[in-house]
Chain A
Amino acid sequence: MVGVANTSRIEQQSTLHGTEELVINMGPQHPSTHGVLRVILKLDGETVNDLDCDIGYLHRGTEKIGENITYTMFIPYTDRLDYIAAPSNNLAWVTAVEKFFDWEIPMRAQYIRSMVGELSRIASHLLWLATHALDIGAMTVFLWCFREREMVLDLFETAFGGRLTVNAFRLGGLHEDVPDKFLQLTQEFIDIFPSRIDDYETLLTNNRIWLQRTRDVGIISAEDAMDLGLTGPIIRGSGVRWDLRRAKPYAAYPYLDFVVPVGENGDIYDRYLVRIEELRQSTRIIQQCLDQLPGGPVTCKTPRTIKPPEGEIYHSIENPKGEFGFYIVSDGTTTPYRVRIRPPSFINLGGLKKLCIGQLVADVVAIIGSIDIVLGECDR
Chain B
Amino acid sequence: MIPMTHFLVLGAVLFLIGAMGVLMRRNAIIILLSIELMLNAVNVTFVGFSRHLADMTGQVFAIFVITVAACEAAVGLAILIALNRDRTMVNVDEINLLKW
Contact = CB atoms under 8 A, between A and B. Distances in A.
Contacts of B84: 19
Interface in B65-93: 84-88
Given A13-B100, A16-B88, 8 more contacts: A13-B86, A16-B86, A16-B87, A17-B85, A17-B86, A18-B85, A19-B84, A19-B85
Contacts of A13: 86, 100
Contacts, number: 10
Interface in B21-55: none
Nearest to B81: A19
A13 B85 CA distance: 10
Interface residues of A, number: 5
Contacts of B88: 16
Interface of A: 13, 16-19
Contacts of A16: 86-88
Nearest to B85: A19
Interface of B: 84-88, 100
A14 B25 CA distance: 31
A-B pairs, top 8 by smallest CB distance, nearest first, are A19-B85, A18-B85, A17-B86, A16-B86, A16-B87, A17-B85, A13-B86, A16-B88
10 contacts: A13-B86, A13-B100, A16-B86, A16-B87, A16-B88, A17-B85, A17-B86, A18-B85, A19-B84, A19-B85
A197 to B, nearest CB: 50
Nearest to A9: B100
A13 B88 CA distance: 12
Contacts of A17: 85-86
Contacts of B100: 13
B98 to A, nearest CB: 15
A17 B100 CA distance: 12
A154 B100 CA distance: 70
Contacts of B86: 13, 16-17
Contacts of B85: 17-19
A17 B88 CA distance: 10
A13 B86 CA distance: 7
A17 B87 CA distance: 8
A370 B36 CA distance: 49
Nearest to B88: A16
Nearest to B100: A13
B100 to A, nearest CB: 8
Nearest to A19: B85
B77 to A, nearest CB: 14
A13 B87 CA distance: 9
A18 B85 CA distance: 5
A13 B99 CA distance: 13
B80 to A, nearest CB: 13
A184 B86 CA distance: 71
A17 B84 CA distance: 10
A18 B82 CA distance: 9
A5 to B, nearest CB: 14
Contacts of A18: 85
Contacts of A19: 84-85
B68 to A, nearest CB: 29
A18 B87 CA distance: 9
B94 to A, nearest CB: 14
A12 to B, nearest CB: 10
A16 B86 CA distance: 6
A11 to B, nearest CB: 14
B41 to A, nearest CB: 34
A26 B88 CA distance: 27
A8 to B, nearest CB: 14
A17 B86 CA distance: 5
